[in-house]
A and B are shown apart, each in its own frame.
Chain A
Amino acid sequence: MPAPAVELDRVTKRFAGHLAVDALSLQVPPGTIFGLLGPNGAGKSTTIRMLMHIHVPDEGTIRLFGEDGKTGRDQSARIGYLPEERGLYPKMRVLDVLIFLAQMKGVDRAKARTLALQWLDRLGLADWRMRRVNELSKGMQQKVQVISTLLHEPDLLVLDEPFSGLDPVNAQVLKDTVLDLRKKGKTILLSTHIMEQAEQLCDAVCIIARGRKLVDGPLSEVKRTHGGRHVHVAFDGASGDAERLFADPRLVTKKESTGQYAELELAAGADAQDILKGLVSSGARLAKFELAEPSLNKIFVDLVGPEAATAAAHPEVARA
């Protein structure tokens, strides 16, 4: 089995006495899209900055590409990093910014230039290459920033809240790019608090809150172990005996019903088929009866809910 692209072993980071990341361990398998999920202030950005060696962990070790004793900065040529707070040099020309940032990743000027022109062309910005960054629209600047993250063809992409502030078109461009990169065998680690996106993209996730890991693993496994079993029912007119069946604690532990639509969580040992039989025999007309996986959003809210409500409000942490 190949070494994990990213491996954290009991990594801890404190800021001015406050615990930002608490003994966090996780592994990102190579060639996957890995989601680091958590509410605001959970420690996602701090974790990512430690990967990039912007912050140094107080305890624990970080290994990238299975290499011991090499920091994110040492291996920066293999990593593309999109920070949460975006920014470019506003007065520089687009092409010059891209070449400069690629040089920071160790690409030589001539090659950086060729690659930058290819990317600008690909994302429809070829005509803007000699313009200053601050003459571009926000969406275009975001594209330039994305290019700067990918230009040096990194093996690992670290994207901190990549979709925040992106318009739908650019978000789609980024999604397609990320999926395309995975196809090429690259590893992508992204943080987000928008679960729908994580659910669409990620192969594996790690949910953290207040610096601590709550759950991690492949998405399907997380869903299986943490969601319980769910049934979605939609009626087409008559609902028969539904009300009595859904209220039966031997069958259903939780329900959310809006008359014509219901989401049920099955009780332990209950069989969904019994509910289906009961509904049909009582004359209900069904538009849909689905054995559903819980949404990642539901798992997240269930796990994080109580924690998120008391999320640390330490001023330095959210920013530092």
Chain B
Amino acid sequence: MHKIFAIIRREFIERVRQRWFWIMALLAPLLFAGIIGYQILLAGGGKLKNIVVVDATGAGLGTRLAEQFAKGNTFRATAIPLTPGVLDSLAGVVERKQLDGFVILPATLAEDGKAEYRASNVSSLNAMDALESSLNRLVVLARLEAAGVDPHVVDRAQIRVTVATKKLVGGKATEESSGSSFLLAYMMAILLFITILTYGVNVMSSVLEEKTNRVVEVLVSSVKPFQLLFGKVIGVGAVSLFQFVIWGISGRFLLSQRAAIMGRMGATATQSGFSLPNVPVETLIVFLAFFVGGFLLYSAMFAAVGAMSSNEQEARQVQQPVVYLLMISYLSILGLTNDPNSTLSTVLSMFPFTSPIAMPVRWAAGNLSAVDVVISWAILAGCILAVTWVASRIYRVGILMTGKRPNPKELLRWIRTA
């Protein structure tokens, strides 16, 4: 025990002493805030667009559209009538970037519902949505009025239905919106992916370092290889948890400042559909449980990779399959959050090589019963035992080998005879 503790201590202290640890610890939350801010900006459709509405309908639709836009924060518009040459001169203004674009409302708009938007950038889906729905409302109104319907009735008929999403937890509605659920799930997935990968690779380099330095020979003449591996994994794991503590503290600080941050980005929570979520205790527990499981599983595999390789380049090649395995669940984040109860989501959250990321994401996005989580974790735990058994056998033989990388047949022999 004394020796294992010394190994854990060394792994922890040496890592925490390194400069990159503190850079990661302090920079990551800022980076994270940046990523989220960027997403909010994207979702918000970017900055306000200044446009001109060219109205050929003669029914004042242009002016009413401009009034509509003034209430939102996607467009600011000025209405002008269609006169000869106006389109060309407007095109010139857009070319000189003094205007973002212009909408043409043809005289036939009310009949065939066709309008046109010309701009230098037409790729913002959000802006197009806003434009179409505003126009739609006006045209419908115009058609109804033309049919003799009382404008007041039309107005009342047009009060929009909004669906407020409230997540049910334990049969009670919470204030959590679907947007913040998604954001939480998304953040957790990224965090899990990055940390499992980073610290798994850390275990790998640690194994490789001792192997290339040949320190390992002195070590295994004093401790069992399994003790060495165990101490290493626990030591590196402790560093990762320490990192989470630091992130947790800085994250709390960011949360406390979220209104200010979002204000800075020119977005309000209601408008973008996003708000920085609260993290319920249950979610935190699920997150940590699956992080620990995922880390143990993947660090055992990374340790085996390190033991199989003789240098960094070789290790980088051998680690590819392990990284891809981890990436499966990372690449499935969108599918998982969009439909947490699909068959794919269920399979990914039960399969032990993807569940460390998939399960917390499903948990945060949807509402799972604790039973599912426990089953998934039990499968994961069983898999950890099996993988660790295999990995420690590869480790035992591999750390003393230099030179040629083993082929699959030799690997099997290592596992059998170690």
Interface residues, chain A, with chain B CB atoms under 8 Å away:
49, 52-55, 72-73, 76, 79, 81, 83, 85-92, 96, 100-101, 103-106, 108-109, 148, 315-316, 319-320
| B221 close to A73 (CB less than 8 A) | yes
Secondary structure of the A side of the interface?
Answer: loop
Partner of A89, one of B215, B221, B403: B215
With contacts A85-B214, A103-B3 taken as known, whether A52 is within 8 angstroms of B221 at the C-beta atoms is yes
Please determine whether B403 and A319 come into contact, CB atoms closer than 8 angstroms. Answer: yes
Query: Contacts A73-B224, A91-B14, A100-B10 given: A81-B218 contact, CB under 8 Å?
Result: yes
Q: Closest chain A residue to B220 by CB distance?
A: A54
Asked if A101 contacts B221 (CB within 8 A), the reply is: no
8 further A-B contacts with Cβ under 8 Å, apart from A73-B222, A319-B403, are A87-B214, A89-B215, A91-B14, A103-B6, A104-B222, A106-B222, A148-B218, A316-B403
By beta carbon, the residue of chain A nearest B215 is A87
Q: Which one, A92, A104, A315, contacts B403 given CB within 8 A?
A: A315
Q: A317 CB to closest chain B CB, in angstroms? A: 11
A104 to B213, Cβ gap below 8 A? Answer: no
Measured CB to CB, the closest approach of chain B to A17, in angstroms, equals 12
What are 18 A-B contacts with C-beta separation under 8 Å? A52-B217, A52-B221, A73-B222, A81-B217, A81-B218, A87-B213, A88-B213, A88-B215, A89-B14, A92-B10, A100-B6, A103-B3, A104-B222, A104-B223, A108-B2, A319-B401, A320-B400, A320-B401
The answer to whether the Cβ of B219 comes within 8 Å of any Cβ in the partner chain is yes
Q: How close is A142's CB to chain B, nearest CB, in angstroms?
A: 13
Assembly CA distance A72 to B224 (angstroms): 12
Given A83-B214, A85-B217, the answer on whether A104 and B6 have CB atoms closer than 8 Å is yes
Beta-carbon contact of B403 and A83 below 8 Å: no
Q: B13: which A residues are within 8 A, CB to CB?
A: 96
Give the distance in Å from the alpha carbon of A315 to the alpha carbon of B209 in the complex.
23
Max chain A Cβ within 10 angstroms of own Cβ: one of B13, B212, B218? B218
Listed in ascending order, the chain B residues whose CB lies under 8 Å from chain A are 2-3, 6, 10, 13-14, 18, 209-210, 212-215, 217-224, 400-404
Question: Given the complex, which residues of B lie within 8 Å of A73, measured CB to CB?
Answer: 220-224
A87 contact set on B, CB distance < 8 A? 212-215
Q: Give the CA-CA distance A85 to B210 in the complex, in Å.
A: 12
Nearest 5 CB-CB pairings of A with B: A87-B213, A87-B214, A52-B221, A103-B6, A76-B222
Docked CA distance A73–B14 (Å)? 26
Measured in the bound complex, the distance between the Cα atoms of B222 and A86 in whole Å is: 16
Instruction: State the CA gap A105–B2 with chains docked (Å).
Output: 10
Which of B18, B213, B402 is within 8 Å of A319, CB to CB? B402
Q: When the two chains form their complex, are residues B213 and A53 in contact, meaning their CB atoms are under 8 A apart?
A: no
The answer to whether B217 touches A54 (Cβ under 8 A) is: yes
Residues on the B chain within 8 Å of A86, using CB: 214
B residues near A85, Cβ cutoff 8 Å:
214, 217
User: For the complex, what is the distance from the CA of A85 to the CA of B400, rounded to whole Å?
Assistant: 12
Q: Which A residues lie within 8 Å of B222 (CB)?
A: 73, 76, 104-106
Identify the closest chain B residue to A108 (Cβ).
B2
Contact partners of B209 in chain A: CB under 8 A: 89
Q: Contact at B217–A104, with CB atoms within 8 Å?
A: no
A67 shortest CB reach to chain B, Å: 16
Residues in A with CB closer than 8 Å to B2 are 103, 106, 108
Q: How far is the CA of A103 from the CA of B10 in the complex (A)?
A: 11
Q: Which residue of B lies closest to A85 (CB)?
A: B214
Write the chain B residue with the least CB distance to A79.
B221
Cross-chain contact A90 with B213 (CB below 8 angstroms) = yes
Is the pair B221, A72 in contact by a Cβ cutoff of 8 Å? yes
Chain A residue at minimal CB-CB distance from B216: A87
Q: What residues of chain A lie closer than 8 Å to B403, measured between beta carbons?
A: 315-316, 319
* Distance of A235 Cα from B368 Cα, bound (Å): 101
Least distance between B21 CB and chain A CB atoms (Å): 13
Cβ contact of B213, chosen from A52, A72, A89, cutoff 8 A: A89
Asked if A106 contacts B215 (CB within 8 A), the reply is no
Q: How far is the CA of A96 from the CA of B3 in the complex (A)?
A: 15
Q: Is B214 a contact of A104 with CB atoms below 8 Å?
A: no
- Bound state CA distance, A73 and B219, in angstroms? 10
- The residue in chain A whose Cβ has the minimal distance to the Cβ of B18 is A91
Least distance between A59 CB and chain B CB atoms (Å): 16
Specify the chain B residue showing the minimal Cβ separation from A77.
B222
User: What is the bound-complex CA distance between A66 and B222, given in angstroms?
Assistant: 19
Question: Is there contact, CB below 8 Å, between A83 and B6?
Answer: no
Asked whether B221 lies within 8 Å of A53 as measured between CB atoms, the reply is yes
Asked if A83 meets B224 with Cβ closer than 8 Å, knowing A91-B14, A103-B2, A320-B401, the reply is: no
Q: Is the CB of A106 within 8 A of B221?
A: no
Q: Are B221 and A81 in contact (CB under 8 A)?
A: yes
CA distance A54 to B223 in the complex (A): 10
In the complex, what residue of chain A is closest to B402 when comparing beta carbons? A319
| Contact partners of B217 in chain A: CB under 8 A | 49, 52, 54, 81, 83, 85
Complex CA gap A53/B210 in Å reads 18
Distance in angstroms between the alpha carbons of A319 and B398 in the assembled complex: 12
Q: How far is the CA of A101 from the CA of B7 in the complex (A)?
A: 10
Complex-state Cα separation, A215 to B212, whole angstroms = 35
A161 to B: closest C-beta gap in Å: 13
A100 partner residues in chain B, CB cutoff 8 A: 6, 10
Query: Are the CB atoms of A315 and B213 closer together than 8 Å?
Result: no
B10 to chain A, nearest CB (A): 5
Complex Cα–Cα for A47 and B145 (A): 101
Complexed CA–CA distance, A106 and B2 (Å) = 8
Would B219 and A104 count as touching, CB distance under 8 A?
Answer: yes
Q: Which chain B residues border A103 with CB–CB below 8 Å?
A: 2-3, 6
B215 neighbours in A (Cβ, 8 Å) = 87-89
Which residues in A have their C-beta under 8 angstroms from that of B401?
319-320
A76: chain B residues at CB < 8 Å are 221-222
Bound together, the chains give a CA A43 to CA B241 distance in angstroms of: 46
- What distance in Å separates the Cβ of B206 from its nearest Cβ neighbour in chain A? 10
In angstroms, how far is the closest chain A Cβ from the Cβ of B6?
4
Complex Cα distance, B402 from A96, in Å, reads: 27
Count chain B CB atoms within 10 A of each CB in A54, A90, A105, A148 and give the residue with the most: A54
Interface centre among A52, A53, A88, A100 (most CB of B within 10 A): A100
Give every chain A residue within 8 A of B18 (Cβ-Cβ). 91
User: CB-nearest residue of chain A relative to B223?
Assistant: A104
